[in-house]
Structure 1
Amino acid sequence: MEKQIIYNSNLHFEHEIWRRELFFWQDELIIFNNRLSELVTRWTKKEVLKQLDHFQNEFILHGGVIEDLLEEMEIHESRMADQDLLSHDAMDTMMVKKHMEFRKKWKYRKRSIQLLKGNSFVF
């Protein structure tokens, strides 16, 4: 069985796709929070305000996770750049493992954001 070589450039490309999507989600959260602000001024029922508060908390939580993912990706990019300086085009096993773990987190977060967006459009 032949070993698969995973190149830094491929992982960097994947990071760029993720980074752009994370920035997009950040922009969406700003829009959602602006919409929440509008709704809070229109509604006085406690049940509705409670639900709006729940969504605000979810948006804050997801915003924090997005920041964490961006930071983690930046660290990984820095390590990849260090390898490039050493003229290593291929990732070592530990770095690939880290990337695969991050990919798993990414897929989970993407699904979580999709669910949040689906639930948010109820209001």
Structure 2
Amino acid sequence: MTDKAELSSTERQLRDALARLVHQKPINRELKQKLKANKLKIVVSNVEKEAGLSNGSARRYPETKALIESAEANRVHGVSNVSDTVAYFGESDRSFRFYPITFSSSFSSLPVLP
């Protein structure tokens, strides 16, 4: 994961905008109206709009786009309760093996709003 100090200005703006949308505190007038109407979705175009950037600005930041997509999934479906370990049944020796799952995107890198 990219350190916060290494983020470009654009990526920092996108992540700050994402944090505002996740915490339901948009500053963009149109997105505030969508929030009041309960129609606000966390999608790339809305994050770009909230950040004050043009359409397609997030295309160079796949990690940030993954954060946006997982934020919307968490909003719609809630946080996953799936274990972080996957069981694999070994055919050769007929035993179970457990492999940890690591996720490349997490919300720990998002700023916390008051």
Larger Cα-atom Rg: 1
Normalized per residue, the structure richer in strand is: 2
Q: What TM-score range do you get, normalising by the shorter chain?
A: under 0.3
Higher RCO by CA contacts (8 Å cutoff, separation 6 or greater): 1
| TM-score, scaled relative to structure 1 | 0.23
Structure with greater helix share of residues = 1
